[in-house]
Structure 1
């Protein structure tokens, strides 16, 4: 045979063919729509129905928003300006914004005080929420913020929050030193010391000592009241919930059954019932002539309510940990408080983040229930003084939409932070 038939002939291309674009159905917007909106016939039908629903909503909503009236003294004036056209009467927001945010009794010239307290809130929580970004020295201001915020919002003598701070510090030091270094007992001791010292301040004449104009609690209102109740109650319910969850798993029957009865009773009672107890029934159990601040009573009841739910969320996180984690803590020679603080609780709290955030968001929205006990929060202001006035009687969508917007921004921010925190703490090896 010839060499041509005995050896195969190889060909090596000396130049590459020019690259070609992928088909139109495999790139760009068309590919995304084909894969996500029209992947099959049922999905295509649902997409068309959804697009029609969005079109129907926007066709009615956009004219109402774009033709809205922002400058008018009353709803009648809005209707005269619109002259039969579709449009919202947003002038109620520009006319009554101060009542929606601060209530109708909080003095106008003191709006700067709760505004400053609100701004300082972000400074105080920054080192707690973003612990890897801000210096730990800022935690000193975080500890001082509750007393500063109280003085700014309520006013009065600065000695009242100072004495409360001293009482909290003394109580925490005493309990943390003599009760086995227990965080929970130290916290409760601090609360007890603060309350006792705060009660003593009522017996000490402190008028005129670095005093600002005092504002009584009955003058609080608007979205400011919702923020106060939400921030304080969520902050208090988390440590109380941790203590209740640990108490429910305690080996001491007396402690365990106290926590079980408390959690099951609170979870079985509607929040509105507890608010009525705080408003009406609680006064019957106090000595005659006792003046127990209504906001403080409401904070106690809402905190109790949220603590019971958070306790169950954290108990679920504790139950999700393998038994080996508890055994590892024992093998290191750690006592109960140390093992919980250093090993068990950090893992359980990471697991419980979604549940805790769910309770916090629900609690913040439930603060609107205080309107049923004659507290003029944001919803109470809308249902009461604003809609009861002759100028704005009949404006509903604008006011309720504004309230929904404020609550959505707050709750959405909480939700997004929790998702970011979960990603930061996702250190598992999978």
Structure 2
């Protein structure tokens, strides 16, 4: 008996997917209720969130933004919401936000740190984003001197004299190009210029574009945290690269100095270094030298961060396969070209999470300067609470400081994720 074969002549019309496999229901099943344990954890987390919201929402909903004291805030909350009602007194933020941003910087001169902040964003643009014209890098190099002049005032000749020291060092290096002592002579020439020529030259050149001087004791708030944090971040990365290369160097003296510096700095708390910067560093300077306290703190914070940065970058260098070094040798590249073109770009790419982690830690550590009398945002909260009108206020002040630091640190974290995606080469 012959078999009868059936061949479909038409296709079945597509049907809708089951409701449990699409949309919100599918997302809930896959992410929140995939197993019985996840379901229990989801319900517990939902209860905790509900409990927090029921307690925190009235505090925010009853917030007062216009008042001259904490007692007035409480009176307004009682009159509006009844006896026993609680609410945030954000009037203190509204009244003191300028102090949080600028510390005790003279109010008529607020335009100077504000201009320096926007110029900082312009200077960072070509460093952080390749789409920005490369010619702006020249402005990025000039920005530290401009920012110093704007913030501290005085004559513009002082930053110019400091930059001239780098030119003297470069000129000395070029004159001795090819000789082993060229880098050492260049460093010595720059130090001699800064130590004996830059100061008298800036004072003798007159008041070139003179701005009203502002002392470091007037700096405070988030402006001070940005000055210390951004400067420390900017200088700790190149110093960390040099220290990491020095620690892996075959030259015994260079390696010993690098290892000694890194291990010493990592073995000493940052608070100790800040106390040294505040009380002891001037002892080692020539008599009559007035070394600015903020500059001393920046130096110590930068040295501290560079030691940790060196170890992070050394980890990236160690993660590279030996074949990359052999490939650089096969191309006939010398040590510095191999590092600049082949080794270091890959090592820095590997080290991005650790580098940004160090940056975030450094920025948060700027609050430690409160122990040496500098008025960072945390220290300012104490100064504000000492005012009789705001005695007893706590959560609003510390919450505002926490929010500002979170925004800055979260921004750095998101940029690192963007950079990792941009440099990704596995196409996954």
Instruction: Place the TM-score, normalised by the shorter chain, in its bin.
Output: over 0.9
Aligned partners of 1:168 and 1:194 also within 8 Å: no
C-alpha distance in 2, partners of 1:189/1:405? 45
Aligned partners of 2:70 and 2:390 also within 8 Å: yes
Q: Give 1:345 deviation, angstroms.
A: 1.0
Aligned partners of 1:151 and 1:158 also within 8 Å: yes
Indicate the residue corresponding to 2:391 in structure 1.
Answer: 393
Indicate the residue corresponding to 1:113 in structure 2.
Answer: 112
Q: Give 1:193 deviation, angstroms.
A: 7.1
CA-atom RMSD, angstroms? 2.4
Q: Give 1:38 deviation, angstroms.
A: 0.9
Structure 1, unpaired ranges of 5+: none
Q: Give the alignment partner of residue 75 of structure 1, picking from 70, 73, 87.
A: 70
Q: Give the alignment partner of residue 8 of structure 1, picking from 4, 24, 27.
A: 4
1:131-210 equivalence runs, <5 A: 131=130, 133-175=131-173, 178=176, 192=191, 195-196=194-195, 199-201=198-200, 204-210=203-209
Q: Give 1:429 deviation, angstroms.
A: 7.1
1:18-167 equivalence runs, <5 A: 18-83=13-78, 84-103=84-103, 105-131=104-130, 133-167=131-165
Structure 2, unpaired ranges of 5+: 79-83
Indicate the residue corresponding to 2:81 in structure 1.
Answer: none
SS at match of 1:264: helix
CA pair 330-20 structure 1, distance change in 2 beyond 3 A: closer
TM, length-normalised to structure 2:
0.92
Output one character per residue of 1:313-343: Cα deviation in whole Å (capped at 9) or x when no partner.
1111111111121122222222212211121
Number of aligned residue pairs: give it. Answer: 422
TM, length-normalised to structure 1:
0.92
Aligned partners of 2:65 and 2:91 also within 8 Å: yes
Output one character per residue of 1:101-124: Cα deviation in whole Å (capped at 9) or x when no partner.
110x21001111111111111111
Output one character per residue of 1:115-140: Cα deviation in whole Å (capped at 9) or x when no partner.
11111111111111111x11111111
CA pair 36-187 structure 1, distance change in 2 beyond 3 A: farther
Q: Give 1:400 deviation, angstroms.
A: 0.6
Q: Give 1:401 deviation, angstroms.
A: 0.7
1:310-349 equivalence runs, <5 A: 310-349=309-348
CA pair 280-224 structure 1, distance change in 2 beyond 3 A: same
CA pair 18-389 structure 1, distance change in 2 beyond 3 A: same
C-alpha distance in 2, partners of 1:409/1:422? 20
Q: Give 1:271 deviation, angstroms.
A: 0.3
